[in-house]
Amino acid sequence: MSNKFFKNMFKKKESKQQAQSDSSSLKNKSINNHSHDKKLISPDKAKFISLIEKESNNPSDLKTKFITEDYTLFYIENLVDSRVLNKHILPVVLKNPNSSPSELKFQLQIPEANMTENLELAILELFSGAALIHKNGYPTVLLAKINTRESRSLSAPENESQVIGSQVGFNESLSTNESLVRRYIRTPDLYIKKLTVGKISNTTVSILYLKSIASEEMVQTLQQRITDLKIDALLDSSFLAEMIDDNSLSPFPQMLLTERPDRFCDGLLNGKLGILVDGSSMAVICPHSFIEFFQSREDQNLRWPIASFLRLLRFSAVFLSIFLTPLYVAALTFHYEVIPQSLLVPLSESRALVPFPPIIEALLLELIIELLREAGARLPTKVGQTIGIVGGIVIGTAAVQAGITSNILIIIVALSALASFTTPSYMMGNVIRAIRFPIIILAGFWGFYGIMLGFCFLLIHLIKQSSLGTPYTAPFYPPRWVDWRDSIIRLPLPLTNLRPTSSRAKKRKKYEEEPIDPEKS
Amino acid sequence: MIKKLGLVILSLTLLIGGCAEQKLLEKIGLITLAGYDLNEDGKVVTTAVIRQVDPEFQSMVTTSSAVNDSSLGALTEINRKTTKKLMQGQMRITLFGETLATEGIGSFLNTLSKNSSTSSGILLAMTAGNAKELLEYPYKNINDVGQEIYKLIEQNVDAELVTSSTLHEVSQDYYSVGRDMIIPIIERKEEVIEVTGVALFNKDKLVGQLPAKDSFYLLLIRGKFKSGKFETTIPGDIFSSNQSDSSEPVPVVLDTISSTKKLKLTDKNVPEFELQINLNGRILELDAEMDFDNPVEIEKLEKAINQSLTEELKSILDYCQEINSDVFGLGKQYRSQVRNSKLTHESWHAKYPTAKVNIKINFKILRSGVFE
């Protein structure tokens, strides 16, 4: 018995080591990705020019400049910083017409300059904003990375606003986003791994994690999933998140999309992995459990009883949002017995004028609310607000007066729509609103039995899901009692010193207490 | 294949879903109260208070009655007279006429308990006289008789003035051996309906009645008594400082704060019981001059109250034994204390009239009121 146990332990260790060696080989692979069937750079000037023009399909914004007799400069207009080009590259090349490219590399006063023999890499860099400097007779080319990128300035996150806390959000530039994270977590421990995704778009994707905390195996898995992607283009991180989810078919997101750097860093500090995608203002955090979608970063900034109260409010709002309208439909269609006597008269009086059965009435009103929301989201902000208010009042009042719906249902539908907006994650809020519809239909067919059926189905589905291999419904199932302290409530900080079990962090404790010096005391 | 099968099952279940019986709220008439009487031919007269909602009339309450052999049969009969399907799910009260109660209400309790659409929390009450007459009287100030009676009894139960008579509690007494059920009696007095007393049963037959003020003593023995107010009289001559003529009895209004009850079987052959009741309370009203700072005086008063309470309890007990209705649950105590008693309703009721109960009441005055 004990023998077996030890054997298993050794096996585990071995597999871990293997995983580590795997990771290093993978790293090499990603670096040498472009050197498979190398096309080499021609030392001859004329030959090289024609080669470049052929490989890049000679676009109209490709500029070729002959600096001296031997030196030729290639760049894509608008992708390079022309100020740097004119001030720091051209004068240097002109001053040292006889030095080799490798000597020139050290004289250039720009942050990054590389030598390469690989033509494909050179072309790729050319299109991501590098200037190629070629000298006649040399088989290498100097890559001066002087790319410029127009990007939006940092602004407050629009979809995830919070009252207390930092008011900065990610923007579309990968380097800005990385620097934002670095500003929150200033440690060499923060590890950034770069990958390229997309056959056509060649988008840079960074995996961020804290090396001493995050689980190696998880990094492995994530990296594997991203490198295995066979797609032509990656335009947004939400697309990436859906592609690498454990179950892409589920309506429930299994990775968190956030535009808040503080929420992102919070995840990293808990031992999770972060993904930043160039050109996307949304960062991905994984693994993420179901319950964590309803926690806001702001909860950490408020005092614990208030934070707990707000969390409880949010969780009850979820239940309210999913089950309130179905309960109304079921009670009025099948279970008149459960209606409290004081509510019976107003309810039946307002229902008496309505010509439809409750299920049609409820679906109609829910549809109107969804239409209003969708119209508000698609229209420009100012118009959208007006439409929302006017539409709400006009349709709401008119529908009751026309006798299409009962006024109690209007309250219920408005309440459940409002409740669904309390979810801090937009993606999850949408799901909560959408899954109400099948449950309403079930309630209309089978009453409470149908609601229970829908609830069971939902529960089974949720329990089945996983996020990067970790259970989706943790800490409730499987029960992780310690993690309950920071789940639907938030206990004081000293009690929530542990990182969540599901992130499989190497260090369980967030901070160790310093040992007291016995001599001093 | 599995997917196809799943699709077939899904579509089938959705189709079958249409078969669930719908009870749309606006398409049913809700029976809020049902009253049962027995007419001269021995048939059941059912009177139902029905709440219906119509767009034109808003909400209206009607009473309707029918004669049939059974209670549910009468409901079908009533259904013929209404435009909407009648449902019992919102029924809050069931009334029994006096003649019916004398004949026995066991079968009605049975039917009500079995009905899945009615809750076990519906209240039961007996009407003095005919239930039909009480319900069909054109009250000037009462809109909804069903609601009125429900609120009346509920309020009195909450104030601990009458025993709670939910179907659950009453049928527990009915189906278990050793305690007989009691339900409140309501009566129409001109334009108002009031609770006038308590009906005492032997098994399911009405055997006696007690006035409403005596229900305090029943509550005291049957269960926990928490906040009720009660009135008793004590002889006036105990007050030394009382100048007025001392022989007249003085009424005292008391308010209990807590009570504990201990019932013990001391001799199983007689059978003989010891009933010890400890009461803590305060004096709300006393129609005599008294010095509450004097412990001797207070002790005298406590003694007098004990005396009068004991006497009242004794007389009620005697009455109950006389009519052979064990509403105090002495049989339950007997059954729990005597091993292998194999007590049945009949065997207990053969012993019950001769049972002896020694009553000990210990009333303590904790507070005597505060002057402002």
Percent of chain B with pLDDT over 90: 27
Q: Which residue of A has its CA nearest to B92?
A: A341
Residues of A with CB under 8 A from a CB of B: 332-337, 339, 341, 344-345, 347-349, 351-354, 357-358, 445-447, 450
**Which pLDDT does position B372 carry in this prediction?**
52
The answer to which of B13-17, B304-308, B353-357 has the lowest mean pLDDT is: B13-17
pLDDT band at A17 (very low <50, low <70, confident <90, very high): very low
Test B53 with A447 for CB contact under 8 angstroms: no
- Residues pairing with B275 in the sheet: B263, B359
Domain covering B223-367, topology: GMP Synthetase; Chain A, domain 3 (3.30.300)
Test A349 with B25 for CB contact under 8 angstroms: no
Instruction: Name every residue whose Cβ is closer than 8 Å to that of residue A493 and which is 6 or more positions away in sequence.
Output: A304
With contact defined as beta carbons under 8 Å apart, do A226 and A237 qualify?
no
Mean pLDDT of B60-65: 82
**Which pLDDT does position A400 carry in this prediction?**
81
Taking each helix axis from N to C end, the angle separating A358-378 and A381-401, rounded to the nearest 10 degrees, works out to: 160
What is the ipTM score, two decimals? 0.79
Q: Shortest CB distance from B25 goes to which of A336, A341, A447?
A: A336
Mean pLDDT of A288-306: 92
Q: Sign of the C-alpha dihedral, residues B130, B134, B136, B137?
A: positive
pLDDT of A22 above 50: no
Give the C-alpha distances (Å, rounded to integers) separating B275 from A13, B147, B221, B313, B333.
75, 39, 9, 11, 11
Nearest to A223 by CA among A233, A209, A213: A209
Q: Which residue of B has its CA nearest to A347?
A: B25
Percent of chain A with pLDDT over 90: 40
For residue A223, give the amino acid letter.
Answer: Q
Q: Which residue of B has its CA nearest to A445?
A: B17
- Token pair belonging to B19: 């078969």
**Which pLDDT does position B198 carry in this prediction?**
92
Whole-number Å distance between alpha carbons of A253 and A238: 10
Test A341 with B147 for CB contact under 8 angstroms: yes
Instruction: Give buried/exposed letters for B125-138 (b at 16+ CB in 10 A, else e).
Output: bbbbebbbebbbee
Q: Which residue of A has its CA nearest to B19?
A: A445
The answer to which of A375-379, A513-517, B37-41, B85-89 has the lowest mean pLDDT is: A513-517
pLDDT of A209 above 90: yes
With contact defined as beta carbons under 8 Å apart, do B197 and B355 qualify?
no
Test B28 with A336 for CB contact under 8 angstroms: yes
Locate the domains of chain A by residue range: 2-35, 45-145, 174-299, 304-464
Q: Sign of the C-alpha dihedral, residues A383, A389, A392, A397?
A: negative
Mean pLDDT of A222-242: 93
- Burial (CB count within 10 angstroms: exposed 0-12, middle 13-18, buried 19+), residue B25: buried
Place of tokens 């109609």: A364
Which residues of chain A lie closer than 8 angstroms to B20, CB-CB? 334, 445-447
Test A351 with B53 for CB contact under 8 angstroms: yes
**Which pLDDT does position A325 carry in this prediction?**
95
Which residues of chain A lie closer than 8 angstroms to B53, CB-CB? 345, 348-349, 351-352
Q: Which helix (H) or strand (E) holds A64?
A: strand A62-66
**Which pLDDT does position B320 carry in this prediction?**
92
Q: Shortest CB distance from B24 goes to which of A333, A345, A353?
A: A333
Query: E strands, A67-201, where?
Result: 71-76, 113-116, 130-135, 141-145, 190-197
Q: Which residue of B has its CA nearest to A403?
A: B55
Other residues' Cβ atoms within 10 Å of the Cβ of residue B369: 11
pLDDT of A381 above 90: no
pLDDT tens column, B182-203: 999 999 998 899 999 999 999 8
**Which pLDDT does position A5 carry in this prediction?**
44
**Which pLDDT does position B95 carry in this prediction?**
94
Place of tokens 């404790």: A509
CA dihedral B279, B284, B288, B292 (to 10 degrees): 70
pLDDT tens column, B121-165: 899 999 998 999 999 888 888 888 888 999 999 998 888 788 889
pLDDT tens column, A314-372: 999 999 999 999 999 999 999 988 888 888 888 888 888 888 889 999 999 999 888 88
pLDDT band at B246 (very low <50, low <70, confident <90, very high): low
Locate the domains of chain B by residue range: 22-212, 223-367
**Which pLDDT does position B79 carry in this prediction?**
85
The SS3 assignment for B207 reads: strand
Give the C-alpha distances (Å, rounded to integers) separating B101 from B48, B126, B199, B345.
18, 8, 9, 19
Mean pLDDT of B80-89: 85
Q: ω into residue A111 within 30 of 0, thus cis?
A: no
pLDDT tens column, A33-63: 444 556 788 888 888 888 888 888 888 888 8
Q: Shortest CB distance from B22 goes to which of A334, A337, A349?
A: A334
Give the C-alpha distances (Å, rounded to integers) separating B359 from B256, B272, B276, B302, B334.
18, 11, 6, 16, 16
Whole-number Å distance between alpha carbons of A134 and A153: 35
Question: Is residue B340 less than 8 Å (CB to CB) from chain A?
Answer: no
pLDDT band at B174 (very low <50, low <70, confident <90, very high): very high
What are the φ/ψ torsions at residue B176 (nearest 5 degrees)? -100, 160
- Token pair belonging to B1: 């294949």
**Which pLDDT does position B240 carry in this prediction?**
58
- Maximum pairwise Cα distance, chain A: 98
Across chain A, mean pLDDT equals 85
Shortest distance between the Cα of B142 and any Cα of chain A, in A, equals 16
Instruction: Name every residue whose Cβ is closer than 8 Å to that of residue B369 and which is 6 or more positions away in sequence.
Output: B282, B283, B284
pLDDT tens column, A171-187: 999 989 999 999 999 99
Greater confidence (A1 vs A274) lies with: A274
Test B23 with A334 for CB contact under 8 angstroms: yes
For residue B184, give the amino acid letter.
Answer: P
**Which pLDDT does position A353 carry in this prediction?**
81
**Which pLDDT does position A12 carry in this prediction?**
43
Shortest distance between the Cα of B155 and any Cα of chain A, in A, equals 15
Across chain B, mean pLDDT equals 85
Test A336 with B87 for CB contact under 8 angstroms: yes
Mean pLDDT of B257-272: 86
The answer to which of A12-21, B306-315, B344-353 has the lowest mean pLDDT is: A12-21
Which residues of chain B lie closer than 8 angstroms to A351, CB-CB? 25-26, 53
The SS3 assignment for A9 reads: helix
pLDDT band at B227 (very low <50, low <70, confident <90, very high): low
Test B89 with A336 for CB contact under 8 angstroms: yes
pLDDT of A238 above 60: yes
**Which pLDDT does position A213 carry in this prediction?**
92
Whole-number Å distance between alpha carbons of A287 and A504: 10
With contact defined as beta carbons under 8 Å apart, do B297 and B240 qualify?
yes
Test B89 with A447 for CB contact under 8 angstroms: no
Whole-number Å distance between alpha carbons of A218 and B321: 81
Greater confidence (B228 vs B99) lies with: B99
**Which pLDDT does position B69 carry in this prediction?**
81
**Which pLDDT does position A326 carry in this prediction?**
95
Q: Which of A26-40, A379-393, B342-356 has the highest mean pLDDT?
A: B342-356
R_g of chain A computed on alpha carbons? 29
pLDDT band at B279 (very low <50, low <70, confident <90, very high): confident
Nearest to B305 by CA among B328, B287, B273, B279: B279
Q: Shortest CB distance from A347 goes to which of B20, B25, B87?
A: B25
Question: Is residue B3 less than 8 Å (CB to CB) from chain A?
Answer: no
Whole-number Å distance between alpha carbons of A157 and A180: 14
Q: Which helix (H) or strand (E) holds B103?
A: helix B98-103
Q: ω into residue B271 within 30 of 0, thus cis?
A: yes
Whole-number Å distance between alpha carbons of A408 and A346: 9
